[in-house]
Amino acid sequence: MRKLSIKRPSLRALTLPGLAFLLAMFFGALLIAFSDSKVLKNIGHPIAFIKAAGVAVWQSYLALFQGSIYNPNLATPHDSLLSWGPISETLVTAAPLMLAGLSVALAFRAGLFNIGAQGQFIFGSIAASYVGFHFHLPIGLHIIVAVVAAILAGSIWGGLVGLLKARTGAHEVIVTIMLNYVALYFLMYLLSTTPFLRPGRRDPISPDVLQSARMPLLLGSNYRINLGIFVALAAAVFVWWLLSRSTWGFRFRAVGANSAAAKTAGISVPFVMTAVMAISGALAGLGGAVHVLGSDFSLTSGTAGNFGFDAITVALLGRAKPMGVVFASILFGALRAGGGTMQANTDTPIDIVLVIQALVVLFIAAPSVVKWVFRLKNLKTTGELAAKGWNG
């Protein structure tokens, strides 16, 4: 249907996210500068003030870059490639984020706002880690069983939301917000039970996932990068195919754009809602699996971190398109990975990343702001985020 002319439309599609990102980084810089004690000391001396501000911002953003892409200080005489090591960290963080982002994006395309990726992610990581540390299975098979368990757990937790919406009209936003907490408390409960307690420990941490269930490393033990990123990329291709080339995706999009018309044309809306949320939950659950089998290896109450919520910003930044989600998750993965280095090496806490994320999404949602700041007149924008509300 859609012609595959890649060049110009996609370049133009990048303009808004690019500018929104720049603007967010600018506000981030302001926050860094105005909270820096050295900068504030010079508040009476404009030139010194600007200089100090520049230094603070430069150091922070440099550390951000060094932590996510390239850091020459990491190179050793034997291995100069190690300076590119941060990219590995970026991709390790990006993989689960990409999967959770795809989960939110897929639901978006079917007209559902899946705030529940967090809960589905939690269930995925519970299932994957349980299979990973509790069963003894051959290498290869063990990973597959753990991943399948995570997919199932996530899809049940997600599918439940779709089923409730289809059957009773319960708004998925409310249900998913609430189920996120239920999932979190369930995880905390499990971590207080014997099967999930690490032998010899009384704090809530599970045993480590066995070697046979871990995602294989791609570049040896110097880098944490593992198969997870390819699992995530494969999922992105799958979601693309599902949405634009499959009959299921056709139905998902039809229901997402106008469920009454889809129903009138004979498409089963309850089926679509349940299926979409189940697949969406499966993707988030897979994200949980990639996280615990790829980099975290054990379950704690903070296992899911912020992945499920970052996923929403990823999906919004990626405009709910699989390719967009891939880029957005790598960008936010880089911010997260670099943010850690930045926090360790400078005075700037990693939390600036949250601010940048929120602002990027805000500016993308309100293109008028970006247009106004950059004096753009012809920037093409679409109304993907048009409001629906509780009754919609």
Partner 1 sequence: MSLELRQITKSFGALLANDSIDLRVETGEIHAILGENGAGKSTLMNIVYGLVAADSGEIFVDDVKKEIKEPSDALASGIGMVHQHFMLVPVFTVAENIVLGHEKSGFAGRLDLDEARARIKEVSDQFNFDVNPDDLIENLPVGVQQRVEIIRALIYEAKVLILDEPTAVLTPQETDDLLKIMKELKAQGTSIIFITHKLREVKAVADRITIIRRGKVVGTASPDASQNELASLMVGREVELAPDKGTHAIGAPILIVKDLTIRDAVGRALVSNVNFEVKAGEVLAIAGVQGNGQSEVARAMVNLEAHVEGSIALNGTEVIGKSVRESLHAGIAFIPESRELDGLIGSMSIAENLILDLHDLPPYAKGIQMSPSTVVSEAEKRKDEFDIRLQSVSDPVSSLSGGNKQKVVLARELSRPVNLLVASQPTRGLDVGSIEFVHKRILEERDAGRAVLLFSTELDEVLALADRIAVMYRGAILAIVPSGVTAQELGLLMAGVVHA
Partner 2 sequence: MKALSAADLRRRRSLIVLATLSILSTIVFGLLQKSGQDVTYGFVFDKEWVLISQWVIGSKTASLLFGVISVAASALSYFQFKAGKTSKIASAVGSAGILMSFISWAAAGKFIPITGLLQGALLLSVPLIFGSMAGVLSERSGVVNIAIEGQLLAGAFVSGVVASLTHSTFLGLIVAPLAGCLISTLLAVFAINFAIDQIILGFVLNVLVYGITDFLYKKLLIPYQGTWNSGPTLASIKIPLLWKIPVVGPILFDQTIIVYLMYAVVFFVNYSLFKTKWGLRTRAVGEHPTAADSVGIKVNRLRFMNVMIAGSVAGLGGAYFTVGGVGSFSKEMTAGKGFIALAALIFGRWTPWGAVSAALLFGFAGNLQSVLGIIGTPIPSEFMLMVPYLATVIAVTGFVGRVRAPAADGTPYKRGESH
104 and 117 Cβ atoms separated by less than 8 Å: yes
How many angstroms separate the CA atoms of 311 and 114, rounded?
A: 10
Q: The tokens 């994006």 sit on which residue?
A: 105
Residue 248 touches which member of partner 1, partner 2, none, C-beta under 5-8 Å by kind: partner 1
| AA letter at 185 | Y
Site string for partner 2, 20-39 (x = CB under 8 A): -----------x---xxx--
How many angstroms separate the CA atoms of 95 and 93, rounded?
A: 6
Decide if residue 2 touches partner 1 (CB under 8 A): yes
Decide if residue 194 touches partner 2 (CB under 8 A): no
Decide if residue 392 touches partner 2 (CB under 8 A): yes
117 and 277 Cβ atoms separated by less than 8 Å: no
Burial class (CB in 10 A: 0-12, 13-18, 19+), 198: middle
Decide if residue 181 touches partner 2 (CB under 8 A): yes
Rule CB under 8 A: choose which of 347, 371, 373, 374 binds partner 2.
347
Phi, psi of 386 (to 5 degrees): -60, 145
How many angstroms separate the CA atoms of 93 and 87, rounded?
A: 10
Instruction: Considering the complex, state which of residue 263 and residue 371 has its C-beta at the smaller distance from partner 1.
Output: 263
Residue 41 touches which member of partner 2, partner 1, none, C-beta under 5-8 Å by kind: none
Decide if residue 248 touches partner 1 (CB under 8 A): yes
In SS3 terms, 205-218 reads as ECCCCCHHHCCCEC
Min CB(161)–partner 2 separation in Å: 9
Decide if residue 309 touches partner 2 (CB under 8 A): yes
How many angstroms separate the CA atoms of 114 and 204, rounded?
A: 28
Rule CB under 8 A: choose which of 76, 192, 211, 258 binds partner 1.
258
Instruction: Considering the complex, state which of residue 351 and residue 384 has its C-beta at the smaller distance from partner 1.
Output: 384
Rule CB under 8 A: choose which of 237, 261, 344, 365 binds partner 1.
261
In SS3 terms, 153-167 reads as HHHHHHHHHHHHHHH
Residue 109 touches which member of partner 2, partner 1, none, C-beta under 5-8 Å by kind: none
Helices 247-257 and 269-291: crossing angle in degrees, nearest 10, is 110
Instruction: Considering the complex, state which of residue 123 and residue 252 has its C-beta at the smaller distance from partner 1.
Output: 252
Assigned token pair, 62: 């440099």
Q: Count other C-beta atoms under 10 Å from residue 328's C-beta.
A: 30
Sign of CA dihedral 33, 36, 38, 42: positive
Q: How big is the site for partner 2, counted in residues (CB under 8 A)?
A: 56
Q: How many residues does the chain have?
A: 392
Instruction: Considering the complex, state which of residue 268 and residue 306 has its C-beta at the smaller distance from partner 1.
Output: 268
Instruction: Considering the complex, state which of residue 251 and residue 336 has its C-beta at the smaller distance from partner 1.
Output: 251
Residue 267 touches which member of partner 2, partner 1, none, C-beta under 5-8 Å by kind: partner 1
Rule CB under 8 A: choose which of 48, 170, 205, 379 binds partner 2.
170
Candidate segments 214-222, 267-275, 327-335, 343-351, binder of partner 2 by CB under 8 A: 343-351
Instruction: Considering the complex, state which of residue 280 and residue 348 has its C-beta at the smaller distance from partner 1.
Output: 280
| Nearest to 71, CA basis, from 347, 338, 296, 262 | 338
Instruction: Give the interface with partner 1 as residue ranges (CB under 8 A).
Output: 1-3, 244-248, 250-251, 253-254, 257-258, 260-268
Per CB under 8 A, residues contacting partner 2 are 31, 35-37, 113, 115, 164, 167-171, 173-175, 177-179, 181-182, 185-186, 188-189, 192, 309, 312-313, 316, 343, 347-349, 351-359, 361-362, 365-366, 368-369, 385-392
